Structure formats: C-alpha cells, structure tokens
Amino acid sequence: MYRVDRNNFFKNEKKATIYTPSWVSQFLYNILSPQIQRGLILDPCVGEGSLLLPWQQKGFDVLGVDIEKTTFPNLIHNNFLELTQKDLKNILGNYKPTL
C-alpha cells in the first residue's frame, strides 16, 4: 500500500519516469473493453497517456491525473491521492459524455 508519509513524491522527488509500453496498453484494452460500456475512462497516473490511448482511439472519453505537467490533453495536474470526493464531483459534474 502506498504510504504518503513514507513516499511523498513532492518531498522525495524521483528523477525517473516509468512508461507503459503500447503493447501493454493495447493488451489491457483488449481484455477490459468488452466489459465496459461507453463512458469516461480515468487514469490516476496518466503520464503521457499510453494507457488511455487505445480507449481514446475507440471513441471513449478519457481523463488523466498526474503530479507532473505532461502533454496529455485531458490532464488534471494534481496528486490524485489528494483529490477529494468534492474535487471529483466538481470535475465529473461538468462531464458530458460524447456518446
């Protein structure tokens, strides 16, 4: 389990980025997509968006959260561990499905 008191990114910033290979993202999409209706797919550690790309390409709405600014277009720049239910309601309250 992640413990903020021991692993706080902002206090102990790591100078490394971990990328998800595109084949892993596609593999996960292939397994999960038959079980998921159209809607919003949220990645709490989006990075450059590799995990969301297959979903986006198939017309799903996607949203990413990350502690670092990235080039991902639908980014909430924040630590997802610090987002409250109110924050999420405010974010998703404005969400309008495309389908």
Residue 15 has pLDDT above 70, yes or no: no
The stretch 73-95 carries a mean pLDDT of: 81
The stretch 3-17 carries a mean pLDDT of: 65
* Entry pTM: 0.71
Residue 92 has pLDDT above 80, yes or no: no
Within 8 A by CB and 6+ apart from 9, the residues are 67, 79
One-letter amino acid of 52: L
